Structure 1
Amino acid sequence: MDPLFDVSREIVLVTGASQGLGRQFARVLAERGAGIVLAARQIDKLKSLEQEIKDKGGRAVAVPLDVTDLASMATAIDRGEAALGPVTVLINNAGIAVEKLAVEQSEADWDAVIGANLKGAYFLATEVARRMIARQQGGNIVNIASVLGDSVMKFLSPYAVSKAGIIQATKALALELASARIRVNALAPGYIDTDINHAFWSTPGGEKLIKGIPQRRVGHESDLDGAILLLASNASRYMTGSVVTVDGGFLLA
């Protein structure tokens, strides 16, 4: 392992770690020696991933966390830190989408998406940052944004709004926290094949979307490994307020 990308001394809190990108981030970082606090609502899936990581010689602990429940944040972090030590890196990944036309989105739909993707991520970042400041340890926050923070598609307006907000939150927090040696960056994935959307890519709609990506393929979860290692490690030590886009050229089109 290149020492520049070494994460073996990091304690990483990954939200939304029970599936999809969060699960991949947790696996990649654990394989490279980081201690992983696995956080999500689906504790059974987290326990399975915790055991998988431990079976491979890694360090992990599963903690229940609903990012829409601000009161649960401190408890989840406390449990993770009691098991593994102070969190040094936050991967703010948890999020949802409600696919409807804007005129069909209800207030409850809006509140659910904004609550999880933007409000929850923002307040978890500030909760972790307060602890980093109190310890004078510095730290690293990685917010998972999306290409839809810069672009738009039909049926996903609250999601696009939430991800645009995450990009601005990343920049605002980066500016305020730099003096405390806390970096805040964002990773903006394009379309990635996950368990949740896998069947879609073989439908006419999915095939049409793929044709609009310059690389003519949907991304694999592993296509984000390099970017997450960059942002979670000291290799990104002079980066803050940055948005790293990994999208096969989607935004170019």
Structure 2
Amino acid sequence: MADVNTELRLDGRTAWVTGAGKGLGRAIAVALSQAGATVAVTARTASDLETLETELTDHGGKVLVLPGSVADPAAVRETVERIAERTGRLDVLVNCAGISPHFTRSEKVTDKDWRQVVDVNLDGTFYCCREAGKVMLEQRSGSIVNVSSVHAVTGFERIAAYAASKGGVEALTRALAVEWADRGVRVNTLAPGYFHTDLSSGLLDSRWGERIVRGTPLGRVGDATELGGAAVFLASDASRFVTGTTLTVDGGWTAW
């Protein structure tokens, strides 16, 4: 009989988390570290990563700080090379880097605004999957978790670029899952609903916040730490027969 407690452990493994400086990415990095993984963390702001490094190492964690942008394919390639050089392997990738800087009616979205969101959320996710995938495919093992959103499949006003980019992430996940399954690499999507983060604070503090809570059966917005367990599950052997799927963590949120 399998021991679930053992299967959820990540001791001896290396996990790379993008967008780890704040919010959901930070919470996921903490959870993976607590599960025993050596955690490589990427974000654009080095000081955020250094603060995270201090927190994790103070609790016995092993951390590799790698500032940079996922929208730069050369930087992504260099990041993976550095992880492989330092740890000798790459077992888990969590693509959590994402932006949603514009809350604008679609007819007013500029070309620049559209490109900015897609560059990070979709292109960046692909670059990271591609480079991490090369290492994992050579190992013939690995788990990739692409962070999407409930808005990949449910409509919401004024977030056309964000929703389209996350829908693309889920399609990319399914394609890679099929392509890489026979070589031991699993690819899944984690789709959060509304959580208290810097990214969502402006929306939740506005008139929209009440509507969001009202549309959530659990009657509240999530705390970032409540996403960590789902990420550990998808990263670990506890989900070894799961690939190409979307795990939604949203408190039951539904479109209105």
TM bracket, shorter-chain basis: over 0.9
2:97: which partner in 1? Answer: 94
Quick one: which of 117, 123, 128 aligns to 1:119?
Answer: 123
8 A Cα contact 1:142 1:186, kept in partner: yes
2:211: which partner in 1? Answer: 208
In 1: Cα distance, 2:128 partner to 2:22 partner: 19
8 A Cα contact 1:62 1:80, kept in partner: no
Report percent identity of matched pairs: 37
Verify: 1:68 aligned to 2:71, yes or no.
yes
CA offset at residue 202 of structure 1?
Answer: 4.5
In 2: Cα distance, 1:108 partner to 1:115 partner: 10
Quick one: which of 31, 37, 40 aligns to 2:40?
Answer: 37
In 1: Cα distance, 2:125 partner to 2:199 partner: 21
Q: Pairwise CA RMSD of aligned residues?
A: 1.5
**AA partner of residue 243 (structure 2):** T
1:1-253 equivalent positions in 2, closer than 5 A: 2-97=5-100, 98-134=102-138, 136-198=139-201, 200-251=203-254
CA offset at residue 215 of structure 1?
Answer: 1.6
In 2: Cα distance, 1:213 partner to 1:206 partner: 11
Normalising by the residue count of structure 2, what TM-score does the alignment of the two structures yield? 0.94
Q: Judge which range, 168-177 or 75-84, deviates more.
A: 75-84
CA offset at residue 252 of structure 1?
Answer: 7.1
In 2: Cα distance, 1:128 partner to 1:202 partner: 37
Q: SS state of the match for residue 126, structure 1?
A: helix
CA offset at residue 120 of structure 1?
Answer: 1.0
In 2: Cα distance, 1:137 partner to 1:178 partner: 10
In 2: Cα distance, 1:211 partner to 1:183 partner: 35
Gapped regions of structure 2 (runs ≥ 5): none
After superposition, the Cα gap between the structure-2 partners of 1:35 and 1:177, relative to the gap in structure 1 and judged at 3 Å, is: same
**AA partner of residue 181 (structure 1):** G
**AA partner of residue 12 (structure 1):** A
In 2: Cα distance, 1:27 partner to 1:225 partner: 8
8 A Cα contact 2:11 2:36, kept in partner: yes
CA offset at residue 199 of structure 1?
Answer: 5.9
8 A Cα contact 2:215 2:255, kept in partner: no
Q: Judge which range, 13-22 or 121-130, deviates more.
A: 121-130
Q: SS state of the match for residue 193, structure 1?
A: coil
